Homo-oligomer: A and B are copies of this chain.
Amino acid sequence: MFVDRLIENIILKKNHSVVGLDPRINFVPKYIRKNYETSKKGECEAILEFNKIIIDNIKDIVACVKPQIAFYESYGIDGLNTFVKTIEYAKQNGLSIIADIKRGDIGSTAEAYAKAYFEGGFVDVDSVTLNPYLGIDSIKPFLNYCDDKKGVFILDKTSNKSSKDIQDLKVDDKYLYEIVGKYINEWGEANKGRYGYSNVGAVVGATYPREMKVLREIMKSSYILVPGYGAQGGTAKDIIDCFNEDGLGAVINSSRGIIAAHTKEENSKYGEKDFGICIREAAIEMRDSINKELEINNKLAW
């Protein structure tokens, strides 16, 4: 089961965080960049080296990485090659993968996407993010893989400010995100693993702690992927309610907060070539902040 492997990896590393691999060229130290041509292709090669150094520095402490395809796609074919190679390298190093692709399309098209991501047509990953706007037709082709090896995280209440435009609309006495939460819970009922969690997870932003509390109740057995920690403003206190009483049930993502840690003023003490250590320290700090908050709330899973 996808979710069991994810949880085992989390427990092994005592770490609920996910590192978002959303690289931008200005995060890549100059000493790496100068080894490559100043072309699109060269930048993609530099980004791949950057990603590999990040992975080398976090693989023993982090369970999961989440590459966001947009940042690779903006470089075209070369970037997409880097996306694939980054995922392969992360897998070789024992990391669980969430491919952040947010796909959502009619059934026959969703089948093509499932083939791309769950059968290795494009790249073979453990899990993907999906958009629920088209309803169950668009999710089902992925669920066919979720009885065993694969998992999905379906957008519910997203971390951005304007998530309210649609997600907070009131349907009778419920918010739309509550209804989507009920769907997600229902879609996952059939595929639960040994820890009681299903392979059908949800995305709920760290920036909405109040909504999180409600959604945690609605989707007791869904793993929640929580973006918006760090750079987007969410703190350890904000995400405490995304965990169940067993101290499980959520993975917390930080992208820029980790992979651009070395570009922060306060981290100028690190030499350019020590950026990997700086990133590792940021990942440790995030892990410890979350675990400390869990401990205070009697929710440590180990």
Contact = CB atoms under 8 A, between A and B. Distances in A.
Interface of A: 22, 68, 70-71, 73-77, 79-81, 84, 102-107, 109-110, 112-113, 115-116, 121-123, 131-138, 155, 158-167, 169-172, 176, 179-180, 183, 227
Report how many copies the assembly holds.
Answer: 2
Given A102-B104, A160-B107, A166 B133 contact: yes
Contacts of A76: 84, 116, 121-123
Nearest to A231: B108
22 contacts: A70-B112, A70-B113, A70-B116, A71-B112, A75-B121, A76-B84, A76-B121, A77-B122, A104-B104, A106-B158, A106-B160, A133-B158, A133-B167, A134-B162, A134-B166, A135-B164, A135-B165, A135-B167, A137-B160, A137-B162, A169-B176, A176-B176
Contacts of A105: 68, 70, 102
Contact of A70 (B70, B81, B109): B109
Given A133-B132, A133-B133, A166 B176 contact: yes
Contacts of A113: 70, 73-74
Given A71-B112, A102-B103, 17 more contacts: A73-B112, A73-B113, A74-B113, A74-B121, A76-B121, A79-B121, A102-B104, A102-B131, A104-B104, A132-B166, A134-B167, A136-B162, A137-B161, A137-B162, A166-B179, A169-B169, A176-B176
Contacts of A123: 76
Contacts of A169: 169, 171, 176, 179
Contact of A162 (B71, B122, B135): B135
A103 B73 CA distance: 12
A24 to B, nearest CB: 9
Q: Which of A70, A131, A138, A158 has the most CB of B within 10 A?
A: A70
A283 B78 CA distance: 36
Given A75-B121, A133-B131, A183 B160 contact: no
Q: Which of A115, A131, A161 has the most CB of B within 10 A?
A: A131
Nearest to A123: B76
Contacts of A159: 106
Contacts of A122: 73-77, 79-80
Given A80-B77, A116-B76, A121-B76, A135 B109 contact: no
A171 B84 CA distance: 42
A30 B125 CA distance: 33
